[in-house]
Amino acid sequence: MENSEFQKTVKNCSSLVYKVQCDIPEVKKSWALSLDSSAPNLEYIVSTLGIPPSPTLMALSADFDMELCLNRMYEGLQLYQDLLSAIRDRISNPEKVTDLLIDIRDLLTHVLKMQELAQLKQGVQYGGSGLSSRLTKEYEVQVAADVVLSQLLSFSQDVYRSLRNIGLAKSAARC
């Protein structure tokens, strides 16, 4: 594996993750979400929508190696690509989310490249959430949009930390 090319890919991926993190508030603003988080039926709506949680990312260890970490990143990015696509199809101004989806697609490409450079197996393809069929009312779309963007922000923070951890591990392996 060419370590400098791997490190460059990690750096490019980190930059894209940072861009996604910065874009999420702009997407929320463009959607003009107006949810009352104290509404009594909000939790019920979230549970009936069946929005899956993000895959768990952890620091690299003997039990959580780079292959598993990159596979979970890839799975999570596919998850958010699916969820955001379902929401984008139901909102009035999808331009900002289209840009976010392009960044997620680019992140997927970079994660695949890291897997190839490290000669790791790629995980299974994400099967889809089916969220689109459960978004029948405008309020459900707003709830889903808010939840998905909040989860994506949290997941992207985990991805950023994991990428930093991977970069440090690869640098240490070089010494």
pLDDT digits (tens, 9 = 90+) for 149-170: 999 999 999 999 999 999 988 7
pLDDT tier at 30, thresholds 50, 70, 90: confident
Residue 47 has pLDDT above 70, yes or no: yes
**Phi, psi (rounded to 5 degrees) for 94:** -85, 5
Mean pLDDT in residue range 18-45: 81
Show Cβ contacts of residue 70 under 8 Å, excluding neighbours closer than 6 positions. 111, 114, 115, 118, 120, 166
Task: Annotate 3-55 with DSSP letters as a single string.
Answer: HHHHHHHHHHHHHHHHHHHHHHHHHHHHHT----TT-TTHHHHHHHHTPPPPP
> CB of 19 within 8 A of CB of 95?
no
Helix (H) or strand (E) holding 1: none
pLDDT digits (tens, 9 = 90+) for 111-152: 999 999 999 988 878 888 999 999 999 889 989 999 999 999
Mean pLDDT of the chain: 90
Provide the pLDDT for residue 91.
87
Helix axes 66-88, 138-174, angle to 10 degrees: 160
Provide the pLDDT for residue 2.
67
